Structure 1
């Protein structure tokens, strides 16, 4: 698991559901790195995503896509934490 994956999952675990732009701000990842990563995590079943309700003309901006960790993603995170904690001590997502 790469540090970028850990950053993205950490942001989502801390906040629950975030838009792509919110994840980018939280992780300081460029869009060219972030969005392919989000797609891979979603394809792997670790994330779910949804488009926000509303038409762009009504919102006055493009619709946002929101991401959240799935049960499968939570299990993967738990496995990583379980394996890392003995080696590194307590982990925090901050």
Structure 2
């Protein structure tokens, strides 16, 4: 059974970066630049997201000698991960959003009480 994903600030930064263009595979250095996270934070989170089934990964098919650099490992949200990430971030946003007027209860994006 996949591990549940706990939404910490670094996890939300990574998910937001992946959701920015969900059809575009991203590699580690690119995600570090997009999130501001160091490699020691980024890669363990990517490993956990992959173990939870939220990410698909694949290695770039290049000749490292010809390219002059190592092959990159690309990360892409899985179909389940895409749905889960959008849902979790929307719920988090609803929890963080202030009420429209003081004293009024918050409502979810679908108009139901939060």
Question: Is TM-score (shorter-chain normalized) higher than 0.5?
Answer: yes
| Structure of higher CA gyration radius | 2
Which structure shows the higher helix fraction? 1
Distance 1:12 1:60 in 2: 27
Q: How many residues align?
A: 89
In structure 1, what is the equivalent of residue 67 of structure 2? 59
In structure 1, what is the equivalent of residue 33 of structure 2? 25
Matching of residues 8-19 of structure 1 within 5 Å: 8-15=14-21, 16-19=24-27
In structure 2, what is the equivalent of residue 2 of structure 1? 8
Distance 1:85 1:34 in 2: 22
In structure 1, what is the equivalent of residue 42 of structure 2? 34
Answer 1 or 2: higher relative contact order, Cα 8 Å, separation at least 6. 1
Tell me the TM-score normalised to structure 1 length: 0.85
Gaps of 5+ in 2: 1-6, 99-114
Distance 2:94 2:42 in 1: 29
Deviation beyond 6 Å, 4+ runs, structure 1: none
Q: CA RMSD in A?
A: 1.5
Distance 1:30 1:7 in 2: 12
Tell me the TM-score normalised to structure 2 length: 0.71
In structure 1, what is the equivalent of residue 51 of structure 2? 43
